């Protein structure tokens, strides 16, 4: 769909504090590498990824997504009362209920009239959320919407490492190696109808 009055007004993000290198990941799968005769450095050569980041273990996704959302609003000079929709689009979530978006909206002081909900669409989550908010703006239902996400990779990487060392299978490694590339982070995209903030990026 082509939009006539939807603009990408600003972005926000937050990076986790802990850097984990690919060399550190490889050191943890050494039992597998030794068993199949792979040399160190293969994972970085295969993926091109040198490092990824992890949150503190006691973090919440809502906290970091709220930071990213706040930065996007501040960059554009948008007040929380201007936000007509807030969509959380992460694969990960803090719990089954209430929706993670509810916690984020509360932290950002988003008004009770805003549409607040979670969207699950795997790696396409942010794009899916942006399309939904853009549709609302194009229809004239809202003037601005915030699309946020936060992911954490620590747990799934840890469990994958355990399984790789357990199986010691090249085929299993091929099927799961993409998981070892995962990292953590939070991001936000602010969409508007062009009457708020900076409207120089047409969606």
Nearest to 46 by CA among 64, 59, 33, 63: 33
pLDDT bucket at 197, cuts 50 / 70 / 90 = confident
- Unique residue bearing structure tokens 């490694």: 173
The model's pLDDT over 17-32, given as tens digits with 9 standing for 90+, comes to 999 999 999 999 999 9
Q: Work out the average pLDDT over 104-131.
A: 96
Nearest to 174 by CA among 36, 3, 48, 20: 36
Angle CA(35)–CA(39)–CA(40) in degrees, nearest 5?
Answer: 110
What positions carry a catalytic annotation?
97, 123
The model's pLDDT over 88-103, given as tens digits with 9 standing for 90+, comes to 999 998 888 899 999 9
Per-residue pLDDT at 190 exceeds 70: yes
Using DSSP's 3-state secondary structure scheme, residue 45 falls into helix
Domain boundaries in the chain? 7-192
pLDDT bucket at 8, cuts 50 / 70 / 90 = very high
CB atoms within 10 A of CB 63: 16
Q: For the domain made up of 7-192, give the CATH fold.
A: Peroxisomal Thiolase; Chain A, domain 1 (3.40.47)
In contact, 160 and 176? CB cutoff 8 Å: yes
pLDDT bucket at 203, cuts 50 / 70 / 90 = confident
Angle CA(193)–CA(109)–CA(143) in degrees, nearest 5?
Answer: 10
pLDDT bucket at 86, cuts 50 / 70 / 90 = very high
In order of 91, 152, 188, the CA distances from 134 in angstroms are 21, 27, 14
């Amino acid at each position: 769909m082509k939009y006539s009055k939807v603009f990408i007004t600003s972005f926000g993000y937050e990076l986790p504090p802990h850097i984990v290198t690919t060399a550190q990941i490889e050191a943890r799968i050494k039992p597998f590498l030794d068993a199949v005769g792979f040399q160190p450095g293969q994972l970085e050569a295969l993926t091109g990824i040198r490092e990824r980041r992890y949150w503190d273990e006691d973090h919440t996704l809502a906290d970091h997504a709220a930071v990213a959302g706040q930065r996007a609003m501040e960059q554009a000079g948008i007040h929380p009362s201007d936000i007509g929709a807030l969509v959380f689009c992460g694969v990960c979530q803090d719990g089954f209920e209430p929706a993670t978006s509810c916690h984020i909206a509360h932290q950002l002081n988003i008004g009770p009239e805003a549409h607040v909900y979670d969207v699950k669409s795997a790696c396409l989550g942010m794009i899916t959320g942006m399309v939904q908010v853009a549709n609302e703006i194009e229809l004239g239902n809202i003037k601005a919407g915030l699309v946020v996400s936060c992911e954490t990779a620590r747990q799934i990487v840890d469990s994958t490492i355990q399984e790789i060392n357990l199986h010691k299978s090249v085929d299993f490694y091929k099927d799961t190696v993409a998981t070892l590339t995962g990292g953590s982070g939070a991001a936000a995209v602010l969409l508007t109808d062009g009457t708020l903030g900076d409207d120089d990026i047409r969606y």
